[in-house]
């Protein structure tokens, strides 16, 4: 449903405040983009928001992001009220982090993407899920999953805190993740690219 | 920084006398051939780098940094497992994260000399130079820092230059972003660029390349900033390049002396040292010596002498003082700061590199009479004379000069003599190095002149006169010149002149007459003049064909040559045969022009010589026409 001019203006103002990193004209552009895509979409949420497919396609064409597992997770982080539909507010605020987030915002975002079941920890199984296609060349005599499991152990060893006891059974808390990233910025997207490549 | 000793042909083109690791480094195998635990760890990680996508690669690279990359076993493990090649191949991709992760490792392990050579062998340098074009600042800085490490050997520096590395590194100094928020980034980029340039500038061709790429105004610009982090590599580069005259000119014209002087008072000793080093090298030029004084640089230099703990700093500072002291006005300034007194305290218990410069400085300070006395009063003569037994040639040259300088005061001379200083100087004439020989001979001049019972003293050196006369056979111009000067002094004692004549001084001097070198001509003529005073030497000189060449000396433009030549000709003209030769060679006309000279000695000699020639001509006329 189309909004009144006044409605649009109110939306722009409110989003400019909440998203923090965009100025008014940028917010307007994003809203327009959203409207265009939504109008074109032929999904159950047509006219209201993005569903998973539309979202994935948009991110793919805008940023060249291809990993389905990751894109699925990104959708979930954008979709804060978890109703399977991304509204314009969720869209703009989500993009603000993606494109211009501070390190803190990005760390929270990436952690949320990687925390597949949302329980506040990145577990071994979750890491395995995300890394299982990362080994392109496997030595013939090894079981295919051995390499990935090993890589997961390497990642855990690097990032999990060694000061806490292991009753967490090999999980990465947000504190662990944050510390590791502050120490080595390359680890921000440790389990897969989820931020757009600024080329 | 100071030694002019060049150790081999390979050093041609290098300015630094630090040992350069140009030969293929040898690996020290320690005992067991078992592969270290690091080997296995590295091999495993290398597997993931090779076989993984960028995500897996980054995890493996980050994990590798947890190994102790400063340990040699780890560094060598990276090389031996072939992981080094993998790391270098990563650089060649377009994946910024992978390139960054790889460079972080390469930067650390390139502290190892074997790794540096391996990186160069594997073509790593060319790729790193290409990376300097990236817009990603962190990556650029890492590449520059790694290049700085690898460039510690000659072949690497050449490779960098041949692939356009110098130009790109200079560009790193030129980053100017709008807005103050980028200043920190700019400074960091420039710092890394400067580090790399500093390393690269050890090669002469690179020094020239930096200049050609417009590096100097950029270096000058950064020299004005106040961050020590970047000042150190900037000044480091400048002092490395200051051996090139083109740089010294630029340092002068771009107003850099002012900044160098200012930073002598910076609290960082390393920065102080590089500034002093730069001044040391630049002060070869008189204009720069004047600029240092004008910018009040002499006092901070003098003050820095008090820091005698830091030997590298002390060597640089004493070096700078030495060269600055070549200018008399600077010596006068140093007197105000009691620099000479402080220098004398540094004559003992100092490493050679410091001593060479301290003695050099004292030698120059002897230009001023007051300082010769100061050195004596501070008890400096004994330690200086003691150093005549040193073995380092550069040191000996300076010691000789200092002894000579001190010997100009008779009071000093008696101390030198009592310490056997003259005999020690004389034995240095046997030293195979021509610079040592020449400086010893120069020093002997004031010694012979000012010593009590000089003639006897000289005679007491067994074989001494024969030794010095034989040095007239040397091929080195400076040796010849100095020996002539010494002989001129020794010959004032007739007994010694007789001995020298027996050793063939006349033909040996005559053989040297055909020279165009004015300095040699002057001292040769002086020697001839004095040697005429014995027996039939005048005739002998004539027979040895020394007269005609002397006549030509009068055509030179140097007034000191004129004086010495006129005196020689005057003495020679006491022999009629010589008068004939002089007349034939147009001496009269040339001398007539000098009769009106303001130089008394020249006037007298010229007049006397002409008178002798005329008298002979008259007598010949009379004899002819009876």
Contact map slice: B 16-75 vs A, CB within 8 A:
44-45, 47-48, 50-56, 58-63, 65-66
The full set of domain ranges for chain A reads 5-100, 103-187
Tell me which chain A residue has its CA closest to the CA of residue B53. A134
Q: Which residues of A touch B65 (CB under 8 A)?
A: 184
- The span from the CA of B198 to the CA of B194, in Å, is 6
**What pLDDT is recorded for position A82?**
84
- The span from the CA of B542 to the CA of B533, in Å, is 14
Burial zone of B386 (CB within 10 Å; 0-12 exposed, 13-18 middle, 19+ buried): middle
Would the CB atoms of A137 and B51 count as touching at under 8 Å?
Answer: yes
For tokens 């060319």, name the residue.
B126
What residues are paired with B14 via a beta bridge? Answer: B203
- The span from the CA of A66 to the CA of A52, in Å, is 14
Find the mean pLDDT for residues A87-112: 89
Would the CB atoms of A135 and B51 count as touching at under 8 Å?
Answer: yes
Q: Is B93 left (phi over 0), alpha (psi -120 to 50) or beta?
A: beta
* Nearest alpha carbon to residue B573 among B545, B613, B604, B622: B613
Q: Which residues of A touch B100 (CB under 8 A)?
A: 186
Interface with chain A: mutation pick from B52, B54, B93, B103, highest number of A CBs within 10 Å:
B52
- Same CATH fold, A103-187 and A5-100? yes
Å from B42 to nearest chain A CA? 12
**What pLDDT is recorded for position A81?**
85
Q: What does the longest C-alpha to C-alpha distance in chain B come to?
A: 120
pLDDT along chain B (626 residues), means of 10: 38 45 65 71 90 91 91 90 94 93 96 95 96 93 97 95 96 71 78 96 96 94 91 96 93 93 94 96 94 96 93 97 97 96 95 96 96 96 96 96 96 95 96 97 96 93 95 96 97 96 96 95 97 94 94 93 96 93 92 91 94 88 78
Interface with chain B: mutation pick from A139, A147, A151, highest number of B CBs within 10 Å:
A151
Which tens digits make up the pLDDT trace of A105-136? 999 999 999 998 889 988 888 999 889 888 88
Nearest by CB: A154 against B55, B63, B101: B63
Å from A79 to nearest chain B CA? 25
3-state SS, B318-341, equals HHHHHHHCCCHHHHHHHHHCCHHH
Interface with chain B: mutation pick from A70, A186, A190, A192, highest number of B CBs within 10 Å:
A186
- The span from the CA of B192 to the CA of A108, in Å, is 32
Q: Looking at the complex, does the CB of residue B105 fall below 8 Å from at least one CB of chain A?
A: no
Q: Which two tokens stand for residue B143?
A: 């590449």
SS3 breakdown of chain A: % helix, strand, coil, rounded to 5? Answer: 60, 5, 35
Q: Which two tokens stand for residue B584?
A: 């034939």
Tell me which chain B residue has its CA closest to the CA of residue A130. B55
Q: Which residues of A touch B55 (CB under 8 A)?
A: 131, 134, 189-193
Strands (E), B276-326: none
- Tell which CATH classification among 3.40.50.10490, 3.30.2230.10, 3.90.740.10, 1.10.238.10 matches the domain A5-100: 1.10.238.10
Q: Which residues of B touch A193 (CB under 8 A)?
A: 54-55
Residues near B70 by beta carbon (within 8 Å), at least 6 away in sequence: B108, B111
Q: Are A65 and A193 in contact (CB under 8 A)?
A: yes
Q: Are B351 and B2 in contact (CB under 8 A)?
A: no
**What pLDDT is recorded for position B30?**
58
Q: Which residues of B touch A139 (CB under 8 A)?
A: 47
Would the CB atoms of A134 and B100 count as touching at under 8 Å?
Answer: no
Size of interface A-B (CB pairs under 8 A): 63
Tell me which chain B residue has its CA closest to the CA of residue A159. B63
Would the CB atoms of B55 and A134 count as touching at under 8 Å?
Answer: yes
Q: Which residues of B touch A192 (CB under 8 A)?
A: 55
Would the CB atoms of A187 and B50 count as touching at under 8 Å?
Answer: no
Would the CB atoms of B55 and A191 count as touching at under 8 Å?
Answer: yes
Nearest by CB: A135 against B45, B54, B56: B56
Q: Which residues of B touch A144 (CB under 8 A)?
A: none
Which tens digits make up the pLDDT trace of A7-37? 778 888 888 888 788 888 888 888 888 888 8
Q: Which residues of A touch B62 (CB under 8 A)?
A: 158, 184, 186-187, 190
Nearest by CB: B53 against A136, A158, A186: A136
Would the CB atoms of B56 and A134 count as touching at under 8 Å?
Answer: yes
Domain boundaries A103-187, corresponding CATH code: 1.10.238.10
**What pLDDT is recorded for position B320?**
97
Instruction: Kindly state the DSSP code that residue A166 receives in the 8-state scheme.
Output: G
Å from B139 to nearest chain A CA? 12
Q: Which residues of B touch A157 (CB under 8 A)?
A: 63
Q: Which two tokens stand for residue B614?
A: 């005329």
Instruction: Determine the 3-state secondary structure of A104 from DSSP.
Output: helix
Å from A72 to nearest chain B CA? 18
* Nearest alpha carbon to residue B2 among B439, B440, B352, B437: B352
Nearest by CB: B62 against A135, A186, A192: A186
Nearest by CB: A184 against B45, B56, B62: B62
* Nearest alpha carbon to residue B399 among B437, B370, B360: B360
Rounded to the nearest 5 degrees, what angle is found at the Cα of A128, between the Cα atoms of A122 and A133? Answer: 130
Q: Which residues of B touch A189 (CB under 8 A)?
A: 55, 58, 97
Å from A91 to nearest chain B CA? 27
Rg value, chain A, Cα: 19
Q: Which residues of A touch B (CB under 8 A)?
A: 131, 133-139, 147, 150-151, 154-155, 157-158, 184, 186-187, 189-193
Would the CB atoms of A135 and B97 count as touching at under 8 Å?
Answer: no
Å from B193 to nearest chain A CA? 23
* Nearest alpha carbon to residue A189 among B118, B197, B53, B322: B53
Å from A197 to nearest chain B CA? 10
**What pLDDT is recorded for position A16?**
83
Nearest by CB: A186 against B47, B66, B101: B101
Reported pTM: 0.85
Would the CB atoms of B100 and A150 count as touching at under 8 Å?
Answer: no
Q: Is A82 left (phi over 0), alpha (psi -120 to 50) or beta?
A: left
Å from A152 to nearest chain B CA? 9
Instruction: Determine the 3-state secondary structure of B141 from DSSP.
Output: helix
Would the CB atoms of B53 and A138 count as touching at under 8 Å?
Answer: no
* Nearest alpha carbon to residue B126 among B145, B106, B102, B143: B143
Interface with chain A: mutation pick from B46, B54, B56, B102, highest number of A CBs within 10 Å:
B56
Q: Which two tokens stand for residue B617?
A: 């001509």
* Nearest alpha carbon to residue B448 among B388, B489, B484: B489
SS3 breakdown of chain B: % helix, strand, coil, rounded to 5? Answer: 70, 0, 25
Interface with chain B: mutation pick from A127, A154, A181, A182, highest number of B CBs within 10 Å:
A154
Å from B217 to nearest chain A CA? 33
Q: Which residues of A touch B95 (CB under 8 A)?
A: none
Confidence band of A198 (pLDDT split at 50, 70, 90):
low
Rounded to the nearest 5 degrees, what angle is found at the Cα of B396, between the Cα atoms of B395 and B402? Answer: 95
Q: Which residues of B touch A198 (CB under 8 A)?
A: none
**What pLDDT is recorded for position A169?**
63
Would the CB atoms of A154 and B60 count as touching at under 8 Å?
Answer: yes
């Amino acid at each position: 449903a189309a909004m009144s001019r006044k409605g649009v203006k109110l939306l722009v103002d409110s989003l400019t405040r909440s998203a923090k990193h965009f100025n008014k004209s940028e917010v307007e552009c994003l809203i327009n983009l959203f409207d265009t895509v939504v109008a074109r979409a032929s999904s159950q949420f047509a006219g209201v928001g993005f569903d998973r497919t539309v979202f994935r396609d948009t991110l793919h064409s805008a940023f060249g992001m291809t990993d389905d597992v990751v894109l699925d997770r990104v959708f979930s982080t954008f979709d804060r009220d978890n109703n399977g539909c991304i509204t314009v507010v969720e869209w703009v605020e989500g993009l603000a982090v993606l494109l211009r987030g501070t390190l803190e915002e990005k760390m929270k975002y990436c952690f949320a993407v990687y925390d597949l079941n949302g329980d506040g920890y990145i577990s071994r199984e979750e890491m395995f899920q995300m890394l299982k296609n990362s080994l392109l060349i496997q030595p013939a005599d090894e079981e295919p999953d051995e390499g990935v499991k090993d890589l997961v152990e390497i990642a855990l060893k690097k990032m999990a805190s060694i000061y806490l006891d292991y009753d967490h059974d090999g999980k990465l808390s947000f504190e662990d993740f944050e510390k590791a990233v502050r120490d080595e910025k390359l680890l921000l997207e440790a389990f897969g690219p989820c931020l757009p490549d600024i080329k | 920084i100071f030694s002019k000793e060049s150790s081999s042909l390979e050093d041609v083109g290098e300015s630094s006398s630090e040992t350069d690791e140009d030969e293929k480094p040898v690996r020290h195998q320690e005992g067991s051939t078992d592969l270290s635990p690091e080997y296995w760890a590295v091999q495993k990680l290398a597997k993931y780098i090779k076989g993984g996508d960028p995500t897996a690669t980054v995890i493996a690279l980050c994990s590798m940094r947890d190994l102790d990359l400063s340990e040699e076993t780890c560094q060598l493990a990276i090389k031996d497992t072939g992981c080094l090649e993998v790391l270098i191949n990563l650089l060649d991709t377009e994946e910024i994260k992978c390139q960054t992760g790889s460079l972080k490792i390469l930067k650390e392990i390139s502290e190892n000399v074997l790794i540096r050579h391996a990186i160069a062998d594997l073509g790593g340098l060319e790729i790193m130079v290409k990376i300097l074009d990236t817009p990603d600042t962190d990556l650029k800085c890492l590449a520059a820092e790694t290049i700085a490490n690898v460039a510690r050997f000659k072949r690497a520096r050449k490779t960098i230059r041949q692939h356009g590395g110098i130009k790109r590194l200079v560009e790193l100094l030129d980053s100017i972003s709008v807005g103050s928020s980028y200043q920190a980034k700019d400074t960091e980029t420039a710092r890394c660029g400067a580090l790399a340039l500093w390393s690269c500038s050890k090669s002469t061709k690179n020094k020239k390349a930096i200049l050609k790429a417009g590096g100097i105004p950029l270096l000058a610009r950064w020299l004005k900033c106040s961050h020590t982090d970047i000042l150190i590599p900037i000044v480091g580069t400048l002092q490395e390049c200051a051996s090139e005259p083109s740089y010294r000119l630029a340092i002068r014209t771009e107003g850099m002396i002012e900044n160098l002087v200012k930073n002598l008072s910076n609290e960082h000793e390393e920065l102080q040292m590089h500034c002093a080093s730069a001044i040391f090298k630049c002060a070869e030029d008189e204009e720069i010596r004047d600029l240092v004084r004008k910018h009040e640089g002499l006092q901070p230099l003098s003050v820095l002498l008090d820091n005698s703990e830091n030997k590298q700093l002390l060597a640089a500072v004493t070096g700078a003082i030495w060269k600055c002291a070549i200018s008399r006005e600077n010596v006068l300034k140093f007197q105000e700061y009691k620099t000479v007194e402080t220098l004398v305290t540094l004559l003992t218990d100092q490493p050679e590199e410091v001593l060479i410069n301290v003695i050099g400085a004292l030698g120059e300070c002897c230009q001023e009479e007051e300082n010769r006395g100061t050195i004596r009063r501070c008890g400096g003569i004994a330690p200086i004379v003691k150093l005549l037994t040193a073995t380092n040639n550069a040191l000996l040259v300076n010691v000789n000069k200092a002894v000579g300088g001190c010997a100009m005061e008779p009071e000093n001379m008696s101390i030198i003599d009592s310490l056997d200083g003259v005999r020690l100087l004389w034995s240095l004439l046997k030293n195979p190095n021509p610079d040592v020989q020449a400086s010893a001979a120069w020093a002997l001049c004031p010694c012979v002149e000012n010593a009590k019972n000089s003639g006897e003293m000289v005679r007491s050196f067994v074989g001494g006169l024969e030794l010095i006369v034989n040095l007239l056979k040397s091929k080195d111009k400076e040796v010849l010149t100095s020996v002539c000067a010494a002989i001129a002094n020794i010959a004032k004692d007739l007994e010694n002149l007789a001995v020298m004549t027996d050793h063939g001084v006349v033909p040996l001097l005559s053989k040297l007459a055909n020279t165009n070198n004015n300095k040699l001509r002057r001292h040769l003529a002086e020697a001839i003049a004095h040697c005429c005073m014995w027996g039939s030497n005048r005739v002998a000189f004539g027979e040895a064909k020394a007269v005609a060449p002397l006549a030509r000396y009068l055509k030179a433009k140097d007034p000191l040559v004129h004086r010495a030549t006129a005196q020689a000709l005057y003495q020679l003209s006491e022999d009629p045969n010589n008068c004939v030769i002089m007349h034939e060679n147009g001496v009269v006309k040339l001398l007539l022009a000098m009769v009106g000279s303001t130089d008394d000695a020249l006037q007298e000699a010229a007049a006397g010589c002409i008178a002798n020639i005329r008298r002979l001509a008259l007598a010949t006329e009379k004899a002819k026409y009876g």
